[in-house]
A and B are shown apart, each in its own frame.
Chain A
Amino acid sequence: MFSLDTIVQGLLLGGLYALFAAGLSLVFGIMRLVNLAHGDLIVLGAYLILGLGTATGMSPFAAALIAMPLMFALGWLLQTRLLNRVLGEDILPPLLVTFGLSVVIQNGLLAAFTADSRKLAAGPVEAASVAVGPVQMGVMPAMTLATAVAVILGLNLLFYRTALGRAFRATSDDAVTAQLMGIRPQRIFAMATGIALVVAAIAALYLGTRANFDPSIGPARLLYAFEAVIIGGLGSLWGTLAGGVVIGLAQTMGAAINPEWQILAGHVAFVLILMVRPRGLFPRAID
């Protein structure tokens, strides 16, 4: 029914959505904060890479390497100056603040860069492809999926093999008792948001080299990311990768039937999976 090619392209697209979602998943897992500005922060990252490239003439890949620490600093500031002030028992204030932040970022980008569509020019690699058996695989999409797997792997190692990851999990379990261990939850949250925005910068690189972007596309990226996180199961990083792949596959298959159905098919897959598994594919045992 679907060609092998369609399925491979869907898998690769899933890598991009997993990259959109990884930062969201990380932040939600640690501080139960849904960052509604996450998509806009990815778009902001794309403009940052664009700006660095334009100013210095370096390739988007090099610019992304510089954007990563800058985005970490932005995440740290965002968390310590703004989000830590509204985190608490009530989940509504942080939602409203990140919603407002989303509007501010979109309009800020609009003022600074106009509504024109832009693209990150990666050079000949954009059009390069390799034949894998009967399937032609684009080098950039393949790199996207490989990067997504590497990012999820890296975040898992960080989470489960390092002292910082231990502090992340302890704070997520019980922030009050974590303080009795000498952990400062607000600093842990700032680290988490910083790391989430480093991942957002990586996502921005692949977003901007894959297709055009403009200041208004953030919320749709947030939606795909959010669906990927929910499909995968809240708090599970490998689940988030699986969720991204599900959305990517569904969109590519939908588009193979009728190009108008691409976006719709992703949302339908989201609803279908939630009907069968309301807690997602890989829910964490402990909530």
Chain B
Amino acid sequence: MSDPILSVSGLTAHYGDFQALFGVDLALEPGEVVAIIGANGAGKTTLMRAITGIARISAGRVRLDGRDITGSAAPDIVMAGIAMVPEGRRLFPSLSVEENLLIGAHARRTAGHWNLESVYRLFPALRERRQHPGTALSGGQQQMVAIGRALMSNPRVLLCDELSLGLAPVVIREIYAAFPEIRAGGASVVVIEQDVGQALKVADHVHCMMEGRITLSGRPGELSRDAIHDAYFGATH
């Protein structure tokens, strides 16, 4: 087995006085897609925010390709190669679609698979709307901009927080259809997903979180519906 590109060990984080993460371990192999599922408040978003340097880490380590990036500032972590599609997309309202994409390349140090042209090829709907304000687009197209913006830094690890939130099933399928090319572009991916079916379909590994801990991990084929149900809502025996 190869060394993980991203490894998180014993990660603990607080949200004010509230402890949101209790020693979370996570490994992402090169080229892999890992899904994290769990109910609201399980700590999924805090985990993403801790990895990207937005939330403070109280204890534990985050390593990218073996290099310790624990406690680095968010801009340094992007430069190191971790990009995030934040929950709720968070497009910049004063920027056009194309400017939103270009600002994603602000951190880019080296050329790679992703540039304006390849992002427009991945999401053709964005090309004709590139002069529109990012926030004037439909929810699905905004999500495409947010993904494209993160890809523009040519990340080695792409974190996607709640891609399918508030989107119609047909739009969700369209967005996940981009995953094979994102992988081919050289990024390993972590997705947070509330839609368990979607997570099982797209991921190589699934982790289920509850109350700040990972309660279940495995390959999609190895996990039974009941086990996921228990890990998701807590066992009720």
List residues of A whose CB falls within 8 A of some B CB: 163, 166-167, 169-170, 172-174, 176-184, 286
Contacts and interface: CB of A to CB of B under 8 A. Distances in A.
A286 B94 contact: yes
B75 A182 contact: yes
Contacts of B79: 182
Interface residues of B, number: 24
A18 B86 CA distance: 39
Interface in B35-82: 52-54, 73-75, 78-79
B107 interface: yes
B94 A170 contact: yes
Nearest to B88: A177
Interface stretch (B2-10, B20-28, B96-104): B96-104
B52 A180 contact: yes
The 5 closest A-B pairs by CB, nearest first: A182-B107, A179-B74, A182-B78, A169-B94, A177-B90
Given A169-B95, A179-B74, A183-B75, A174 B103 contact: no
Contacts of B213: none
A106 to B, nearest CB: 36
Given A170-B94, A173-B94, A179-B53, 10 more contacts: A166-B95, A166-B99, A167-B103, A173-B95, A177-B90, A177-B92, A180-B54, A181-B104, A182-B153, A286-B93
B106 interface: yes
- Provide the main secondary structure of the chain B interface: mixed
Contact of B103 (A166, A176, A184, A286): A166
A16 to B, nearest CB: 29
Nearest to A176: B54
Given A173-B93, A180-B54, A167 B106 contact: yes
B83 interface: yes
Contacts of B83: 180
Contact of A174 (B52, B53, B75, B90): B90
A166 B74 contact: no
A180 B84 contact: yes
B101 to A, nearest CB: 11
29 contacts: A163-B102, A166-B102, A169-B94, A169-B95, A169-B99, A172-B94, A173-B92, A173-B93, A173-B94, A176-B54, A178-B103, A179-B53, A179-B74, A179-B75, A180-B54, A180-B74, A180-B78, A181-B78, A181-B103, A181-B104, A181-B106, A181-B149, A181-B153, A182-B107, A183-B75, A183-B103, A183-B106, A184-B75, A286-B93
Contacts of A177: 86, 90, 92
Contact of A170 (B75, B78, B103, B153): B103
